Structure 1
Amino acid sequence: MKKETEIFGIRSVIEAIKSGKEIDKIFIQKDLQGSLAKELIALAKKNNNTVAYVPVERLNRFSSKNHQGVVALISPITFADFENLVIQTIESGKNPLFLILDQLSDVRNFGAIIRTAECTGVDGIIIQKKGGAPVNADTIKTSAGAVYNIPICKVDHIKDAIFYLQGSGVQVVAATEKASELLYDIDLSVPTAIVMGSEGKGVSPSVLKTVDHLAKIPMKGEIGSLNVSVACGAFLYEITRQRL
């Protein structure tokens, strides 16, 4: 299994960014000083890399190597270009099905969702560049390797991706317990993108305002919500049922 690669040192990380490596996250020591550190921070900001400012003890846990206050995690996969994926899917004659993950944070949930998405014929998964779960060794293991079989795209803003999909003739449906409409009452046989929210907060309010439909799963027990990967499976298999 190909795992995340860790890159140590300011200059090494700068060169990794410049060479176009798929960087999941950059850890920078708090209050790191120097012209080279400033160059790295500016370059990371320009390229929309996710940066976390952490104490030196956190960096030391990665390795005893001389990290110079900087460690970067390189993704084990190459991310697909979002707009190209949408265009290619539509032009292929398929009935498009996309999955949008809004700030999902747990890598095991992410991996389980990828596995279900691959099994249900999802054409691509869209995540935001900042704030979401990374594709790491745990993601790959939980996905049972499905991460290598389905395109995953990173976008700057989820809302912009939704507007692009809607402009391309794809309806966007958000999964939320706030909905008045049941999942089963929506026509999912047409080109569709499903939005699943984060474990704690669900789909963000600003995203909910942009979608075409809000949909919920009927709940019979005392607990008011499902695990996000389970809920995602219910949505994707209802789409599969309607399209059979």
Structure 2
Amino acid sequence: MEENTVIFGIRAIIEAIESGSSINKVYLQKGLRGDLFFQLEKLVKKNKISTSVVPNEKLDRLSKHSNHQGAVAKISPVEFHDLENLIETTLENTDKPLFLLLDQVSDVRNFGAIIRTAECTGVHGIIIQKGGSAPVNAETIKTSAGAAFKIPICKVDHIKDAIFQLKAADIKIVSATEKTQDSIYDINFNQPLAIIMGSEHKGVSNSVLKLSDYKAKLPLLGEIESLNVSVACGAFLYETVRQRL
């Protein structure tokens, strides 16, 4: 699939969503009305797909076509994996799975950099939330140096859904957060594990922290109070590699 694949037309987008296509974003014409439009709007909300209301001229540019009926959608260039199947398959092949959960990391460059590091460190799968997460688009793939095609990525309705599934498989959860006294170097990463990295602005959400088995922070010796999330993620993943080698 091409990196910038778009589809247009209300009915075509409805059919794409209902068939399970990975939609990154839907663009809707400002002021659009009608039964079919409301059907699409309802479907987009139900599936928690990111949307933008834009002028007709924007839709013309996106679709390169004037017959878009007021709706254009961008399709993800990668196919997302089913989390339950991924956990099952991973456990069949290793007794120390390593998963990475991103709690609404929204910057595509951070996302791409994280994917690249995850692939280099042997992560078995990346899990993101449908709402509030950076899309897997051309820029993400470019930043990942193509790693987005090499590592399974799963989308869930909420990160907490994934945590419950992982815990059911006896996989421990560790959150990267400053809201703890425990250092990254105090945690045992040499076990079935899922690491959670938080959003650029809020970190790991409190509701997710409550479900974590461990919370860990990186020591910061300078005056800056935090690291870029992709850099912090690299530190966590390579500490995991160090302990497992």
| TM-score normalised per structure 1 | 0.94
Q: Which amino acid aligns with 2:112?
A: G
The answer as to whether partners of 1:100 and 1:127 remain within 8 angstroms in 2 is: yes
Partner of 2:207: 206
Q: Which sections of structure 2, spanning at least 5 residues, go unmatched?
A: none
Partner of 2:4: 4
Q: Which whole-Å CA distance do the structure 2 matches of 1:81 and 1:201 have between them?
A: 27
Q: Which whole-Å CA distance do the structure 2 matches of 1:229 and 1:112 have between them?
A: 6
Partner of 1:72: 73
The answer as to whether partners of 1:26 and 1:72 remain within 8 angstroms in 2 is: yes
Q: Which amino acid aligns with 2:164?
A: F
Offset at residue 53 of structure 1 (A)? 3.8
Q: Which whole-Å CA distance do the structure 2 matches of 1:144 and 1:51 have between them?
A: 25
The answer as to whether partners of 1:2 and 1:137 remain within 8 angstroms in 2 is: no
The answer as to whether partners of 2:126 and 2:151 remain within 8 angstroms in 1 is: yes
Q: Which whole-Å CA distance do the structure 2 matches of 1:72 and 1:30 have between them?
A: 15
| TM-score normalised per structure 2 | 0.94
Offset at residue 156 of structure 1 (A)? 0.7
Partner of 1:43: 43
The answer as to whether partners of 1:130 and 1:156 remain within 8 angstroms in 2 is: yes
Offset at residue 24 of structure 1 (A)? 1.3
The answer as to whether partners of 1:25 and 1:49 remain within 8 angstroms in 2 is: no
Q: Which whole-Å CA distance do the structure 2 matches of 1:115 and 1:3 have between them?
A: 17
Aligned length: 243
Q: Which amino acid aligns with 1:54?
A: V
Offset at residue 2 of structure 1 (A)? 3.6
Q: Which whole-Å CA distance do the structure 2 matches of 1:39 and 1:2 have between them?
A: 28
The answer as to whether partners of 1:30 and 1:53 remain within 8 angstroms in 2 is: no
Could you tell me the percent identity over the aligned residues? 63
Partner of 2:20: 20
Offset at residue 15 of structure 1 (A)? 2.2
The answer as to whether partners of 2:6 and 2:63 remain within 8 angstroms in 1 is: no
Q: Which amino acid aligns with 2:51?
A: A
Q: Is 1:173 the counterpart of 2:174 in the alignment?
A: yes
Q: CA RMSD in A?
A: 1.5
Structure-to-structure mapping, 1:46-195, within 5 angstroms: 46=46, 48-56=47-55, 58-66=58-66, 67-195=68-196
Q: Which whole-Å CA distance do the structure 2 matches of 1:168 and 1:139 have between them?
A: 30
Q: Which amino acid aligns with 1:171?
A: K
Q: Which sections of structure 1, spanning at least 5 residues, go unmatched?
A: none
